[in-house]
Structure 1
Amino acid sequence: MKDESLIFGTRAIIEAITANKSIDKLFIQKGLQGELSRELMSLVKKNNITFTYVPVEKLNRLTRNNHQGVVAYISPIDFYDLENLVMNVIESGKTPLFLILDQLSDVRNFGAIIRTAECTGVDGIIIQKKGGAPVNADTIKTSAGAVFKIPICKVDHIKDAMFYLQGSGIQVVAATEKAESTIYDTNLTIPSAIIMGSEGKGISPSVLKLVDQSAKLPMYGDIASLNVSVACGVILYEAIRQRL
């Protein structure tokens, strides 16, 4: 089955960037030379697009066509600007509820979280440009199409997004088993952004230092943690329960 999100060829990718298409992943052949390649790199750096240098063998595996040393995946959705989204939510008069995903890597977890977030009225999901799960066909399928219904913001750095949210009067709450208090002791009736960490490492230590509060889910079994999408669902519904 052809992947409609994959594009290749230097000129095609230059045109995609110029048309403000959101580039999810960009692979560039090591040692690529030429005037067109320099034009592409200039655009990539100007637009702060994350890219990876790879051997030509990887590009050949992605497409058997004449890729000219560059292959990209275009996101099927348009990402929102964080500042505009936060401003619009605040001006609407509702109590903001945002979700921050710190380096979540599994696309199915990502899709499941998007679905639950849409069902619970989350105002927007914030992810980092580099290192997280992409929005691809698996994400769309697992989200049951919710990915097209909820604003998703891609930011350069999670910490900068946190500073902006806090400066806008929105508390940032980390969901972590390292917390002393539980989510049931945390006031989620006020403007809030909840951070969920990656499947393996949880929330980055540098991010944890900047949160307003940390909260955990009480655990009574032998297994020390829940799947991140399940934990996220429990926490979001606690926010809804408190706000009813």
Structure 2
Amino acid sequence: MEISPKDRFVTVYGRKPVLEALDDPALSVDKVVLADTARGPAAREILDAARSRGVAVQRATAQRVKVLAGNGKQDQGVLADVVAPRMKPLALALEEGGLRSVLVLDGITTPANVGMILRTATAAGIDGIVVPRRGVASIDPLVVKASAGVAFRAPVLRCGTAAEASALLRASGFPLYALDSHAPDTLYSADFPSRAAFVLGSETSGITDDVRPHITSWLSIPMAAGVESLNVASAAAVLCFELVRRAQSQRT
């Protein structure tokens, strides 16, 4: 299966994020793209940093940089493609096998939430986090910052949409669980296999209509004192470490 560059790199844009990536020896930067209009000390600093790391710098029109960055207001005429060693297409990961626990992000458009979920799920040892190319905040400098840099090495799985991911997972034998505050079965009492996928929807609209038909079971997190629900990143943390707890109890 041929892997698109979008499924291999995290693209960061803006002078400071690009310089931070170039200055981090733990990161492998594939290339820097600099607008042909970029001149002066700021451009020289980026060129010098790239040269010291042996990273190729491509010149492009300012409009081309905006298109590649996907952000016309904050790219500052420069971007860098940072190698994400654990990022791959969902279809390829399913073909290779070995996935046990998978999160699917559905309609989560706040970068801070996506970044925090990536950090938490990676810390919990989740095998894959599906971040669709459409309908979810893209992995940009805001997501990277919220993840405290973990986004670069998170086990991100790519596909077009959450509905596409849900269909692929179901076809591969994964049951799909979704969190809902009104579900009678709770995360703590429900029985589910170690090989399962969990869908996280947005706080405002929950699971999207295209994904709902693929859900096999709904789970709630018990709430006290009249609290209706948790922030999606907080709910993800509860879910991920409940999976950790179950896995550890099975080993003892």
Output the TM-score relative to the length of structure 2. 0.66
Distance 1:138 1:64, change over 3 A: closer
Q: 1:8 to 1:146 in 2, by over 3 A?
A: same
Q: After the TM superposition, which of the residue ranges 106-115 and 181-190 deviates more from structure 2?
A: 181-190
Instruction: Say whether the 8 Å CA contact 1:105–1:199 is kept in structure 2.
Output: no
CA contact (8 A) 1:197 1:204 kept: yes
Write the distance in 1 (CA, Å) between the matches of 2:68 and 2:167.
Answer: 26
After superposition, residues 77-156 of structure 1 pair within 5 angstroms as: 78=84, 79-90=87-98, 96-156=100-160
Counterpart CA distance in 1 for 2:95 and 2:118 is 21
Offset from partner CA, 1:153-212 (integer Å, 9 cap, x none): 221122221121112121111112232211112234421111101132111133122211
Moved over 4 A (4+): 5-9, 61-65, 72-79
Q: Is the 8 A contact 1:129 1:155 kept in 2?
A: yes
Which residue, out of 60, 68, 71, partners 1:12? 60
Amino acid corresponding to residue 157 of structure 2 in structure 1: C
- One-letter amino acid of the counterpart of residue 84, structure 1: L
Mapped pair 1:173 → 2:186: no
SS at match of 1:193: strand
The aligned residue for residue 235 of structure 1 is 239
Alignment of 1:12-51 (within 5 A): 12=60, 23=68, 25=70
Q: Distance in 2 between matches of 1:181 and 1:220?
A: 16
Displacement, 1:24? 5.8
The yes-or-no answer on 1:195 pairing with 2:199 is yes
1:193 and 1:24, CA in 2 relative to 1: closer, same or farther beyond 3 A?
farther
CA distance in 1 between counterparts of 2:75 and 2:91 reads 37
Output the CA distance in 1 between the equivalents of 2:148 and 2:97: 24
Q: Aligned partners of 1:23, 1:192: CA distance in 2, in Å? A: 35
CA distance in 2, matches of 1:138, 1:63: 12
1:48 is matched with which residue? none
* Cα distance in 1 between the residues matched to 2:232 and 2:83: 23
Unmatched 5+ stretches in structure 1: 27-58, 66-71
Alignment partners' CA distance in 1, 2:144 and 2:131: 16
Aligned position for 1:164: 168
Query: Is there any run of 5+ residues in structure 2 with no aligned partner, and where?
Result: 1-13, 19-31, 37-58
Residue 62 (structure 1) shift: 4.9
Could you tell me how far apart the structure 2 residues matched to 1:64 and 1:166 are?
42
**What one-letter code is carried by the residue in structure 2 that aligns with 1:213?**
S
CA RMSD, 1 decimal: 3.1
The structural deviation recorded for 1:88 is 2.9
Deviates more, 1:212-221 or 1:202-211: 202-211
Letter of the structure 2 residue corresponding to residue 80 of structure 1: K
Structure 2 residue aligned with 1:213: 217
CA 1:116–1:62 in structure 2 vs 1: closer, same or farther (change >3 Å)? closer
- Residue 183 (structure 1) aligned with residue 191 (structure 2): no
Structure 1 partner of 2:56: none
Q: Is the 8 A contact 1:170 1:193 kept in 2?
A: yes
Amino acid in structure 2 at the alignment position of 1:85:
A
Write the distance in 2 (CA, Å) between the matches of 1:85 and 1:8.
35
Quickly say closer, same or farther: Cα 1:146–1:219, change in 2 above 3 A.
same
Comparing 212-221 and 181-190, the one that deviates more: 181-190
CA contact (8 A) 2:170 2:214 kept: no
Q: SS state of the match for residue 185, structure 1?
A: coil
Per mean C-alpha deviation after superposition, the further-off stretch among 229-238 and 214-223 is 214-223
Shift of 1:226: 0.5
Is the 2:135–2:161 Cα contact (8 Å) retained in structure 1? Answer: no
* Number of residue pairs matched by the alignment: 195
